[in-house]
């Protein structure tokens, strides 16, 4: 650390041995930089990983690995590195090329040491600022994350608090919501936040199994219990002992199995199929369904006692179209995830493309969005951002008019204001506080204008 508490900046100098080079190195050391001087590009290339310099001063004309190649390698390691390339008056064109490739500066020899100092100072503090901003951004994003869930809408912030609260207890939780909304992620988050987190989280999809199999999957079976049962097998209740059992699609359970499940949940006791010995486990139950169990109870297709037993605490997961404010964050998370997985360097999604995605209804919710982004990344460009043209045609077509298209030349400003307010309110699901912030007006102005344009009943 230097006297003003900033870490000492490390400069890698790759210049041939000469009097001016020695002068430069001595000058930088005297100015308080930590200098590593190597005489050849090849050596610079070999040590760049281990030394992780903040700045690089290299010769454009190095015979083995020239400055441009070294610059490329250095920027792959540290995209904000302060790279200064050095050359003679004949190399100005190469110098321009270097700047285009991301060099911070190009200096013509003989070097002006004071200038070098200014460039280094500026480049290194820029680099540190970028680092701090992305750190802050990361910390801000963390606030909106819980396990595998990334959501910033106020509805999801409330679900986060419900998860935290319910995780402290052993109460059964029933998670309801449309397909693909993230019910499975909520179940995992509850387990992760609970004291059982070190113990197993066991899932069973009750909908995907034929009637005869569900019971043996849940409770296990003894050897010879049925044709094909050559050995005894543990069921999910056994496997989840001391942990959490997640019953997905619990609305699809046949009536006969519902009784047995109820007993298992109430007492933790059950028998394996074909067995008579009663086993006892300590299991926390979380269930999820996209069906309306209340209606099923009324129609007699679902046992009321099981329903109330599962629904000690209820968490309702909203469809994505009701919390569109989450779309930009989810798009960002998925774009980066699939970029990494596919080895491409996408920076994000163009604003117009994001507009289309925010306007679409997403009947398949987060799962549909995730699959859509994966397809776009696989089929799209290898770098830069995803554009409207990369979005599958059926989504582009079905997205209701994107705001821009609602404005016609010659439209009155008042009318435009009305449309802007109306459309913004729709996008944020009528969360006025958020709409006001997006529109850049105060909450009371929003109320007044809504009334003025007849967007809400006058009170």
Ligand X SMILES: Nc1ncnc2c1ncn2[C@@H]1O[C@H](COP(=O)(O)OP(=O)(O)OP(=O)(O)O)[C@@H](O)[C@H]1O
- Residue 372: CB minimum distance to ligand X, A: 11
Rounded Cα distance between 167 and 146, Å, is 13
Q: Which does 149 bind (CB under 5 to 8 A by kind): Mg ion, ligand X, none?
A: ligand X
Contact stretch for Mg ion (CB under 5 A) within 27-35, 86-94, 158-166, 177-185: 177-185
Which of 88/319 has CB closer to ligand X? Answer: 319
Query: Which residue of 14, 85, 150, 253 would you call a contact of ligand X, by CB under 6 A?
Result: 150
Query: Which residue of 78, 179, 385, 403 would you call a contact of ligand X, by CB under 6 A?
Result: 179
- Residue 201: CB minimum distance to Mg ion, A: 13
Q: Which does 31 bind (CB under 5 to 8 A by kind): ligand X, Mg ion, none?
A: none
What lies within 8 Å, CB to CB, of 118 at 6+ separation is none
How many CB atoms within 10 Å of residue 151? Answer: 22
Q: Which does 107 bind (CB under 5 to 8 A by kind): ligand X, Mg ion, none?
A: none
Told to check if 366 binds ligand X by CB under 6 A, we report yes
Told to check if 183 binds ligand X by CB under 6 A, we report yes
Number of chain residues interacting with Mg ion (CB under 5 A)? 1
DSSP three-state, residue 34: strand
- Residue 289: CB minimum distance to ligand X, A: 8
Helix or strand holding residue 201 (H, E) = strand 201-205
Told to check if 321 binds ligand X by CB under 6 A, we report no
Here's the x/- map for Mg ion, 182-211, by CB under 5 A: it reads as --x---------------------------
Query: Which residue of 44, 53, 184, 318 would you call a contact of ligand X, by CB under 6 A?
Result: 184
Which of 94/366 has CB closer to ligand X? Answer: 366
Query: Which residue of 151, 191, 272, 284 would you call a contact of ligand X, by CB under 6 A?
Result: 151
Rounded Cα distance between 267 and 221, Å, is 19
Subset of 237-256 contacting ligand X (CB under 6 A) = 248
Told to check if 318 binds Mg ion by CB under 5 A, we report no
- Residue 358: CB minimum distance to ligand X, A: 16
Number of chain residues interacting with ligand X (CB under 6 A)? 19
DSSP three-state, residue 274: coil
Structure tokens at 268: 């933790």
DSSP three-state, residue 194: coil
What lies within 8 Å, CB to CB, of 237 at 6+ separation is 218, 219, 220, 245, 264, 270, 279, 281, 283
- Residue 248: CB minimum distance to Mg ion, A: 5
Whose CB is nearest to Mg ion? 184
Told to check if 370 binds ligand X by CB under 6 A, we report yes
- Identify whether the C-beta of residue 333 lies closer than 8 Å to the C-beta of residue 191: no
Subset of 266-295 contacting ligand X (CB under 6 A) = 290
Name the phi and psi angles at 260, rounded to 5: -65, -35
Q: At what angle do helices 113-143 and 19-30 cross, to 10 degrees?
A: 50
Which of 145/260 has CB closer to ligand X? Answer: 145
Structure tokens at 7: 């870490």
145 alpha carbon, distance to own chain's centre: 8
Which of 99/296 has CB closer to ligand X? Answer: 296
Contact stretch for ligand X (CB under 6 A) within 18-26, 63-71, 183-191, 392-400: 183-191
412 half-sphere exposure, CB direction, 13 A CA radius:
3
Subset of 55-114 contacting ligand X (CB under 6 A) = none
Name the phi and psi angles at 83, rounded to 5: -100, 125
Rounded Cα distance between 351 and 334, Å, is 16
Rounded Cα distance between 156 and 149, Å, is 10
- Identify whether the C-beta of residue 346 lies closer than 8 Å to the C-beta of residue 381: yes
- Residue 348: CB minimum distance to ligand X, A: 16
C-alpha distances out from residue 305 to 255, 261, 289, 293, Å: 12, 11, 17, 12
- Residue 288: CB minimum distance to Mg ion, A: 6
Which of 81/288 has CB closer to ligand X? Answer: 288
Q: Is 5 left (phi over 0), alpha (psi -120 to 50) or beta?
A: left
Q: Which does 367 bind (CB under 5 to 8 A by kind): Mg ion, ligand X, none?
A: ligand X
Structure tokens at 2: 């230097």
Rounded Cα distance between 24 and 58, Å, is 12
Contact stretch for ligand X (CB under 6 A) within 56-64, 221-229, 365-373, 379-387: 365-373
- Residue 205: CB minimum distance to ligand X, A: 8
Q: Using CB under 6 A as the criterion, which residues of the chain lie in contact with ligand X when the complex forms?
A: 148-151, 177, 179-185, 248, 290, 330, 333, 366-367, 370
Q: Using CB under 5 A as the criterion, which residues of the chain lie in contact with Mg ion when the complex forms?
A: 184
């Amino acid at each position: 650390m230097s006297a003003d508490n900033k870490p000492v900046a490390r400069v890698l100098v790759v210049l041939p041995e000469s009097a001016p080079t020695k002068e430069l190195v001595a000058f930088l050391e005297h100015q308080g930089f930590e200098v590593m001087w190597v005489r050849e590009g090849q050596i610079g290339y070999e040590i760049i990983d281990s030394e992780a310099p903040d700045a690089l001063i290299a010769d454009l004309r190095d015979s083995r690995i020239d400055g441009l190649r070294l610059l490329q390698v250095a920027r792959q390691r540290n995209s904000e590195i302060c790279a200064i390339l050095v050359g003679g008056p004949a190399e100005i064109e190469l110098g321009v090329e270097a700047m285009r490739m991301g060099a911070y500066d190009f200096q013509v020899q003989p070097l002006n040491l004071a200038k070098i100092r200014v460039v280094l100072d500026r480049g290194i503090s820029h680099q540190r600022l970028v680092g701090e901003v992305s750190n802050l951004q990361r910390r801000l994003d963390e606030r909106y994350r819980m396990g595998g869930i990334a959501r910033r809408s106020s509805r999801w912030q409330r679900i986060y608090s419900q998860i935290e609260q319910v995780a402290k207890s052993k109460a059964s939780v029933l998670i309801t919501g449309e397909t693909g909304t993230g019910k499975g992620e909520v179940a995992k988050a509850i387990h992760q936040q609970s004291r059982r987190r070190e113990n197993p989280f066991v899932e069973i999809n009750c909908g995907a199994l034929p009637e005869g199999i569900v019971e043996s999957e849940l409770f296990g079976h003894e050897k010879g219990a049925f044709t094909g049962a050559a050995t005894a097998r543990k069921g999910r209740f056994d496997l989840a002992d001391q942990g959490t059992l997640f019953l997905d699609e619990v609305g699809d359970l046949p009536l006969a199995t519902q009784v047995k499940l109820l007993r298992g949940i109430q007492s933790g006791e059950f028998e394996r199929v074909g067995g008579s010995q009663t086993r006892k486990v300590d299991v926390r139950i979380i269930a999820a369904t996209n069906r309306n169990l209340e209606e099923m109870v009324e129609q007699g297709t679902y046992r009321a006692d099981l329903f109330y037993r599962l629904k000690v605490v209820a968490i309702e997961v909203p469809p994505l179209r009701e919390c569109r404010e989450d779309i930009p964050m989810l798009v960002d998370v998925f774009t980066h995830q699939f970029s990494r997985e596919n080895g491409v360097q996408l920076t994000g999604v163009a604003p117009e493309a994001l507009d289309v995605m925010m306007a679409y209804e997403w009947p398949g919710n987060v799962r549909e969005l995730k699959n859509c982004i994966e397809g776009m990344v696989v089929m799209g460009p290898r770098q830069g951002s995803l554009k409207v043209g990369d979005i599958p045609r059926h989504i582009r077509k079905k997205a209701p008019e994107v705001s821009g298209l609602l404005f016609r030349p010659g439209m009155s400003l008042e009318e435009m204001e009305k449309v802007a307010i109306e459309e913004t309110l729709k996008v944020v699901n009528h969360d006025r506080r958020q709409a006001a912030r997006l529109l850049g007006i105060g909450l009371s102005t929003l109320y007044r204008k809504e009334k003025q344009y007849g967007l809400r009943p006058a009170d």
